[in-house]
Amino acid sequence: VGAHALQLPLVLIGPMGAGKSRVGGRLATSVGVPFIDTDTRIEQRHGPIDAIFARDGEAAFRALERDVVAEALTEPAVVSLGGGAVLHPDTRADLEEAAVVWLTVTPEAVAVRLVGGNRPLLAGGGIERWKAIQVEREPVYASLADLEIDTSRRSVARIVEQITERF
C-alpha cells in the first residue's frame, strides 16, 4: 500500500488511444496496487483480440470481455477497460458503484498514437472511424465518469497526480 489511500477499484474508461493502459500502469505503480488491463487479460486467456473479432465477431468478443471485466472489478486494483467495454449494460451497472476516470483525447492527438496499433474496429477506417465511434460513445462515458481528464497535452505524470488528488 502506497502513501495514498486510493479508492479501489479505480477504473479508467475512454476511447481507443486515450492512454488508459499507459496511465493505469503508471498510476498503479505510483500508489503500489496491482494494475489490470482487461484487453491484456483477454489476450492472455483467449489469444489476440483481432483474431477473436475475425473468427467469432464483435458480439462474441463483448461476451468474453464482460466476463474479464466483471472479475477485474472485484479486485482492489487500478483497472483499465477496453474502449467498448461500457457498451455492456452489466458493466455500466457495475461502474455506478466504482471510482471512474474518463480519459479523453482530441482526434489530432490520437491520430499519432494509433499509428501501427492492432485495433480491429479501426481497420480500414482510421481516424474517421475513430471519430464516429467516439461520437456514439461519448454520452455513455460522460454518464459514468466521476472525473474527466483530457490527455492530449498533459504528461502521464501530471494525469496520475490529478487522479490521486481526486481519489
Q: Please report, as ranges, the residues that interact with ligand S3P according to CB under 6 A.
A: 16, 20, 39, 49, 82-84, 119-121
- Report in angstroms how near the CB of residue 141 gets to ligand S3P at its nearest: 11
Element (H, E) at 149: strand 147-150
Q: In what order do the strands lie in the sheet with 147-150?
A: 35-37, 78-80, 10-13, 99-104, 147-150
Instruction: Consult the annotation and say whether 19 binds a ligand.
Output: yes
With respect to ligand S3P, which residue has the nearer C-beta, 25 or 120? 120
Instruction: Consult the annotation and say whether 119 binds a ligand.
Output: yes
Total Cβ atoms within 10 A of residue 44: 10
Whether residue 96 contacts residue 145, with contact meaning beta carbons closer than 8 Å, is answered with no
With respect to ligand S3P, which residue has the nearer C-beta, 99 or 133? 133
With respect to ligand S3P, which residue has the nearer C-beta, 39 or 94? 39
Instruction: Consult the annotation and say whether 20 binds a ligand.
Output: yes
Instruction: Consult the annotation and say whether 150 binds a ligand.
Output: no
With respect to ligand S3P, which residue has the nearer C-beta, 26 or 119? 119
Instruction: Consult the annotation and say whether 62 binds a ligand.
Output: yes
- Report in angstroms how near the CB of residue 52 gets to ligand S3P at its nearest: 9
State in Å, rounded, how far the first CA of the chain is from the last one.
15
Whether residue 36 contacts residue 72, with contact meaning beta carbons closer than 8 Å, is answered with yes
Angle at 134 between CA 166 and CA 16, to 5 degrees: 70
Can you tell me which residue has the cell 474508461?
A: 13
Residues belonging to the binding site for Mg(2+) are 21
Residues belonging to the binding site for ATP are 17-22, 119, 154
Residues belonging to the binding site are 17-22, 39, 62, 83, 119, 137, 154
